[in-house]
Amino acid sequence: MTWSRRDFLRTGSAFAAAGVIGLDGRFLKDPYAAARAYRPFRPLLQDPDVRALAMTALQAARDVGTSYADVRVTSGIARATGAGDRRVGLRRISGSLNFGVRVLMGGAWGFASSTIVTEEEAARIARLAARQASLNPWSQTDNIEMAPAPVVADGQWETPIDLDPWNYTIQDQLELQLEANELVVKIAEAGRPGLRVSSSFSFSRSDVVFASSEGSYIEQRFNNFGGSYVAQVISEDRMEFGLASPESFRTGGYGWEAIEGIPWADDIEQAVEEAYMMLGARDPDVGRYDVVLGSGAVSSILNSTIVRALEYDRVLGYEMHAGGTSYLGPAEEALGQFSFNNPMLNVRATGSVPRAAGVYRWDAEGVAPQDYQLIREGVLVDYFTSREFAPQLDWWYRRNGIETGSRGTAGSAGSTLTQVVAPSIAIMDPGEENVSEEDMIAATEDGIYFPGGGFASVDPPMLNMQGGGGGLIYEIRDGKLGDILRRPSYLANTIDFWRSMDMIGGPDTFAYGGGGTFKGDPSQLIGRTVGAPAARFRNLNVFTYGRR
């Protein structure tokens, strides 16, 4: 039995009496069986219907003459709760079910996606994508060819977690959340008026099936805990805020263990103190300073100024209108030649970081991520690519005896959006010697210390930055921490900035930070994890926004 899409849209009423349409468009005889057989979400893994849907899309693409096709099907669920002090906000459980088909035809891309997950729609979407490609006037001149990649015929992977959050209810989640909030509320009631706590917890699970016309079939389940837990105070004139999050509050590839027993409880008092200390900050004196950045601050600026610039589609100009261009090009002049003139700077890609947000076993093109070096002792030696772009660097790979191919850094913000170059994990190596942040502070005469977090505003070619910090920021005087400073920022040229790095933290200072990147039209925000050690940068231009 097949269904036209129009009919499917009408099922809301047309089939009420007869029965219920299941995921695959077949009747379920008892309309309430579905409700009784209620599952937290539609798992895709090991599901013959999903395989059939994927094969239908691939066959439809093949039938109209595409040279390559891939289909991604996503079924997801997220459970989010928010609470301010003892007040509970909207409770939300969100389900998603959708798929996208990408085709290569006559050397041009086509991409279409839908939330109507039926075999007939899968065929329609595949043909629609093919039709885009066939109508593209540049199809024959561009003649895109993908780099070969190993076929993964039966790939399975799941983000490892300890406790399955879906064995707990939204009530369990809220009870723990209010219990956690209560720890701050109690401090407030004990004599800290104006102190508030705001928290949001979100568990998500997403099953993604990838199938390609080359024979790959990959099932992955991504588990994630996202959210925040922030102690807040406000100044008397209500113009300044003190915000602090407990150091041990963790998000990323976690299950229920992220919140079970409130693992950050011991750090809450410290966070509250920090929030109050922020209110006592003074404006910095504008000038030149040596700047010590904690791991979080380094990872933020690393993501904004180097990791993004290493994405080869930016280098080529594909992102000129969207995410921006890159100073690390053109490849012919930059690979092996461009240098930050700083042998301490080593940047790598990796696929294997437990607990990192966004970690995968195979990327959005079904390619396993590799561990490889992109910047070696300050010199550019490779880019983040995809199967589309890797062949353009064939000359470089041949010269260096490396196999030409994607290293597994294609991503997307979901199956309804097409793949772009978007590595999920990038790392700046720590130094070999065990240099601590304290050592760097002690070695600094006149400086500023940004312990963590932070933001970076960078121009579209990623060459001119303004960096700032979140949380407490201290002045450094004669090797010791001094006053807390209000919103100092440093301005620098990207290349000068990295060249000025003269101390690098040891393995003990290394940590992973959250990051992300905007890519593509329509715009996709793709999350990533960036690991970095602490580091010191010399003689930066520091200023503040001032107040008007």
Count the Cβ atoms, other than its own, within 10 Å of residue 164: 14
Of 113 and 212, CB closest to other proteins: 113
> Minimum distance from CB of 89 to other proteins (Å)?
8
Going by C-alpha positions, the residue among 510, 513, 298, 534 that lies closest to residue 438 is: 534
Give 69 or 440: the residue with its C-beta nearer to other proteins.
69
For 14, phi then psi, to 5°, come to -60, -30
Between 130 and 298, whose beta carbon lies closer to other proteins? Answer: 130
At closest approach, how far in Å is the CB of 169 from other proteins?
8
Closer to other proteins by Cβ: residue 103 or 501: 103
To the nearest 10 degrees (0 to 180), the angle between helices 119-135 and 5-14 is 150
Which lies closer to other proteins via its Cβ, residue 102 or residue 361?
A: 102
Q: Least Å distance between CB 97 and other proteins?
A: 5
Rounded to whole angstroms, the Cα distance separating 202 from 135 reads 43
DSSP result, 167-191: GS-HHHHHHHHHHHHHHHHHHHHTT
Distance CA 23, CA 49 (A): 8
Cα 476 from Cα 483, distance rounded (Å): 8
**Cβ contacts of 395 within 8 Å, gap of 6 or more:** none
With respect to other proteins, which residue has the nearer C-beta, 4 or 436? 4
Minimal distance, residue 455 CB to other proteins, in Å: 7
Closer to other proteins by CB, 128 or 292: give it: 128
How would DSSP label each residue in 529-547? Answer: EEEE--EEEEEEEEEE---
Q: Toward other proteins, which CB reaches closer, 165 or 351?
A: 165
To the nearest whole angstrom, how small is the minimum distance from the Cβ of residue 194 to other proteins?
A: 9
- Count the neighbouring beta carbons within 10 Å of the beta carbon of residue 288: 13
Cβ neighbours of 19 (radius 10 Å): 15
Distance, in Å, from the CA atom of 232 to the CA atom of 471, rounded to the nearest integer, reads 11
Q: From the CB of 398, what's the least distance to other proteins, in Å? A: 24
CA distance 459 to 327: 11
**How far apart are the C-alpha atoms of 108 and 104, rounded to whole Å?**
5
Nearest to other proteins of 36, 48 (CB atom): 36
CA distance 215 to 149: 11
User: Cβ atoms within 10 A of the Cβ of 238, count?
Assistant: 8
Q: Residue 485 in contact with residue 326, Cβ under 8 Å?
A: no
